Structure 1
Amino acid sequence: MSAFAPRRRLYLMRHGSVDYFSSDGTPVPPDTVALNAEGERQADAAGALFRHCGVRFDRALVSGLPRTVQTAERVLATAGQELSLEHEPALREIRGGRLADIPPDQLEQAFLGAFRAGADVESQRFLGGESIGELLDRALPAFDALCARGDWQSMLLVLHGGVNRALISAALAGQRAFFGRLEQQPACINVLDIASNGETVVRSINLAPTQWLHERERYTTMETLLAQYRGGR
């Protein structure tokens, strides 16, 4: 028998694939963008995996943006579970500025700088908008409050690539941190165990049910989006 108190299980997902740019290259407002057909397939695959493995959730929480809501709904439906979704706006994705306001010679830094920076990472702004430090200021306390709740043993949490990096980085470092090079595939699953003292054990990162070995990927999400934006201009 273990001398340790049982740990609770948190399945932290990123939302499924979306199209941030229309066919003519026009940016889609990030607060309204919806899953595309591939994103729906990815969410269904995650739900099928949970069902196959017998995973049951006590609670399901999303950021409230449509892409997280749609992903969670499909995951739960395919997993054969009926749960009301809780919304936590403090866990929404890092907010970008207006792409049209970014000079062409600063595009690469605006898209990629926040995920490449080292010691000065908290000062980096995402697409000229919110800084990494500002993201940490709102996301980490919200996550700590979620972990402090006593009304769940197994939770599905569907969020975003940048937010997931913040939460996983803090868990790995044991303190406030942001490791931008922790890539998050669409609809990936991260597995975290939460101890009674709030300590987090990171068990698995970036499990992608439709592409376990990431065999079709060579670029990050932000590198791909930068190429799409440049190609549509």
Structure 2
Amino acid sequence: MSALPGTTGRRRIYLMRHGHVDYFSPEVIASGDYNGVPLTPLGREQALAAGDALADIPFDRAVCSGYRRTEETARLVLSRHAECADLPLETEPDLVELHGSTDAPPMSREKFAAAMAFQFDNAAEPGARMGLGTDGELFSAAAARGERAFLRLLSEPDWATMLVVAHEGINRLLLGWATGAGLKGVQAFEQDTACINILDFDLVPVETGEGNEISRAMIKALNLTPYNHTKFGMNMTSLERIMSPAEEHH
């Protein structure tokens, strides 16, 4: 099994959130395709800054959720890496963002942002769903598919360092899983756009069969933003910021 230098069974995942997007742009509203929303110019700048920060990391594999904003972010990050610019970009559908409700009542952008602000605080409640309606994805179901995706990736051979670009919600659930806090801990994990999390996993052989299992998960770094290391001026949550009018973004 491939492992980080100096270790016998440790692997590292650089887990990112995609760069800034505008879900309320005229083009997105007209198309109704919220999965295909592109990065804004700000989002591209953020992704390139992350790429500069990660330019010396020897990625063996690169994975995104398959949504346009994660693919664009991943490709911009890899473009800053001379040895990884041509690395194939894989897709992992189980890492797509949580599916929101389709039957939420109409409301203004401001009211929607206010209502969504505390979505993750109740994630551990029985039957809790994403969104403001009744048919959003269960947080528990999303957590299960995210965990399933990571376990599948960690079970695959021939890599020690991987780039994964996903979304705020699924990242929160994965971080809750990695800490052992589960859904009760996800509200504390802020995920700014184009942020970098660094997760290490110690793998050991399964005693009763083939393959490996996780013996320990460690968070080496959390919510790093190379475009603003100290978070100065980043006083809104990422959700508040992404829901705010474009002229408020700097």
Fold shared per TM-score above 0.5 = yes
Which segments of 5 or more consecutive residues in structure 1 lack a partner in the other structure? none
Residues 121 and 78 of structure 1, relative CA distance in 2, 3 Å threshold: farther
Taking structure 1 as the reference length, the TM-score comes to: 0.85
* Aligned-pair CA distance for 1:170: 0.5
Could you tell me which amino acid in structure 1 is paired with residue 119 of structure 2? A
1:212 maps to what in 2? Answer: 229
Residues 69 and 211 of structure 1, relative CA distance in 2, 3 Å threshold: same
Residues 164 and 119 of structure 1, relative CA distance in 2, 3 Å threshold: closer
1:86 maps to what in 2? Answer: 90
* Aligned-pair CA distance for 1:126: 2.4
Checking the alignment, whether the CA contact within 8 Å between 2:63 and 2:163 is kept in structure 1 is yes
Q: 2:71 aligns with which of 65, 69, 94?
A: 69
1:32 maps to what in 2? Answer: 36
* Aligned-pair CA distance for 1:134: 2.1
Residues 74 and 117 of structure 1, relative CA distance in 2, 3 Å threshold: same
2:177 maps to what in 1? Answer: 170
Verify: 1:142 aligned to 2:149, yes or no: yes
**Within 2, Cα distance between the matches of 1:13 and 1:169?**
15
Q: 2:60 aligns with which of 44, 58, 63?
A: 58
Taking structure 2 as the reference length, the TM-score comes to: 0.80
Q: Deviations over 1:20-43 (max 9, x none)?
A: 111699485321100010111111
Could you tell me which amino acid in structure 1 is paired with residue 25 of structure 2? S
Instruction: Provide the aligned C-alpha RMSD in A.
Output: 2.9
Checking the alignment, whether the CA contact within 8 Å between 1:126 and 1:132 is kept in structure 2 is no
Q: Secondary structure at the match of 1:179?
A: helix
Verify: 1:186 aligned to 2:190, yes or no: no
Checking the alignment, whether the CA contact within 8 Å between 2:15 and 2:198 is kept in structure 1 is yes
Q: Deviations over 1:134-170 (max 9, x none)?
A: 2113211111111121221000000000011011110
**Within 1, Cα distance between the matches of 2:182 and 2:196?**
22
Could you tell me which amino acid in structure 1 is paired with residue 178 of structure 2? A
* Structure showing the higher helix proportion among its residues: 1
Query: Identity over aligned residues, as a percent?
Result: 35
Q: Secondary structure at the match of 1:147?
A: helix
1:9 maps to what in 2? Answer: 12
**Within 1, Cα distance between the matches of 2:36 and 2:47?**
18
